[in-house]
Amino acid sequence: MNVSIQQSKLEGFMAYYRKELERPRYDLYRKIQAKEKKPIASVASSKACSALEQFLGAYRAVKEVLMQEGIPSEVFQHAYAVYLAVLYVTHALQIPASAKPIPMQINFQQTQYALLDSLLLFFVQQLPEKGMEDFVAAYFSGLREATGNVLQSPNHQQVRERIAQCKIQLDGIAFHGFTLLNRKEEQPVSYQDLSLDDVVGNHEAKKALRESLEHVLSYKAAERKNAVQEIFGFPQKFLLEGREGTGKTTLLKALACYGRKVAEQHGLDFRVLHIDNSFKNEYYGVSARNLKQQLQEVFSGDAIYLVTMEDIDTIFFSREELKHQTEDKAVLGELLNLLEGIASSNLGNYILVATTNNPLSQDRAVYSRLLEQPLHASGPETEEDYIALFQQKLKLDTKISPADWQEVGTECTKNHFSGRDIRNIALQILSGAMQEREKPKEWYTLSVEQQRAWLLEGKQGITKESVLEHIESYDSFLRKKEGGEKGYAKTKNP
């Protein structure tokens, strides 16, 4: 048997059991809230609910596969499905598997409904007022121990041997028999090496974000404490707003590289979490849960995080826009709860930076929660900024003199170009320099060093006049495109 369980099937079962947990018989979410005596559930309690939902969904999905494959003995099916679901949840949510188990007497001869009913009632009745994380770990450890007595019984030797050869993949996590082969790996955010010194302009935003990142790198995961946060406090949530092409993304990339460099030098666990639309799902409630799970890893305090939400207005919409969009409305509500929860259970182990081109489109409540320190990305501002950016984009020095560069900088300042405008002009200049020369016939047989030498010769032909000519051509194109008015890309910097 080699089966891959579709994520949509798993999420469908989870959605079903989420509704079951709301029923008066279990009333899980309200009871947890009552235990904690808080309007918003803690991170540990939210994780507990997610763990139970995922466990039930995984159990149901695996049990269905076992029935379809004709695995004999319903008792064994129950035990194996519980066992695999426990493995799946503890690895997916990083729940400690070494916790001391809660003793459980489970009757696997019951019907599926009766079995799950007994497991849920046990969970709800044992809910603690404190130590939720330890309780969840002990609960799943107890489930795993209880299944062992059944799975290892001599009465099930033949079916056990058959299961040992089976391969099941559950939402990207692979199992071979009774062994977990691998856990689903998150794709790391990878940036090319980029220094904060490479960020031209945006001086105030760069300074503020660098300072806060250095403060958050003071966090001690082992102690769950940050001395800077406890004694002084510092901004951790930022809304970086600015028109298109002003270097918001470049600044975030450079910030991530800086954090990684400092962390490597000092042996710190530093991670970058980039939140975009990929967490959204068509199934009701799944998007909000996915968002919660992503941020729960941050709130757990196990590592230091830089959380980025680029173009937040394309991820989360205002409540006025969501009158008839139930799923996105749930996502916005979840974001508000999570941002509010940050303030009440803040360990000082993260900074969150959201970017937007249009701050006025933001939901007022979201906007206010991200304004611990408002930042504006204006891009290059001075003649020196434009000169530095041009030289950076052209990659290597040309024969243009400092005085000629000053003239170029003055022209760019007058036109209020954005950083993206400078990038576009530089690409056109380099392309033009290449087109003016014909490659030698032996080009494709030349070594890399020989090709580099030939290309560098072409750069020597870039002059002040050619740069100003491309600037004028680019400006003329934008004016024509906008009917004689400067386009959005060239709106004067505030």
List, for residues 254-289, the tens digit of each pLDDT value: 999 999 889 888 888 899 888 765 554 444 345 556
10, 11, 17, 18: CA torsion to nearest 10: 160
Q: What is residue 218's predicted lDDT score, i.e. its pLDDT?
A: 92
Residue stretches of the chain with pLDDT short of 50: 40, 183-191, 280-285, 317-327, 329, 342-344, 360, 484-494
CA atoms within 13 A on the CB side of 330: 16
| Last residue of one domain, picked from the residues 355, 376, 397 | 376
The answer to whether residues 41 and 154 belong to one domain is: yes
- Residues 295 and 408 placed together within one structural domain of the fold: no
Q: Is 62 within a domain?
A: yes
Question: Do residues 167 and 245 both lie within one domain?
Answer: no
In terms of residue numbers, what domain contains 392? 383-490
Q: Of 433, 420, 398, 435, nearest to 474 (Cα)?
A: 420
**pTM assigned to the model:** 0.54
Q: Are residues 370 and 392 in the same domain?
A: no
For 344, half-sphere exposure in the C-beta direction (CA atoms, 13 angstrom radius) is 12
294 and 411 assigned to the same domain: no
392 and 486, same domain (yes or no): yes
Q: What is the pLDDT of residue 187?
A: 40
Give the separation between CA 140 and CA 94, rounded to whole angstroms.
Answer: 12
* Domain endpoint, select from 353, 376, 399: 376
CATH of the domain at 410: 1.10.8
User: Among 205, 226, 224, which Cα is nearest to 215's?
Assistant: 226
Q: Are residues 359 and 410 in the same domain?
A: no
Same domain, 341 and 357: yes
pLDDT of the residue at 300: 79
Q: Using DSSP bridges, classify how beta strands 304-309 and 350-356 pair: parallel, antiparallel or unpaired.
A: parallel
Is 132 within 8 Å of 42 (Cβ atoms)?
yes
- pLDDT attached to residue 207: 92
Do 433 and 303 sit in the same domain of this protein? no
Looking at the fold, whether 402 and 442 belong to one and the same domain comes out as yes
- Number of domains observed in the structure of the chain: 3
Task: Evaluate whether residue 187 is within a structural domain.
Answer: no
pLDDT at 319: 36
214 and 156 in a common domain: no
CATH of the domain at 336: 3.40.50.300
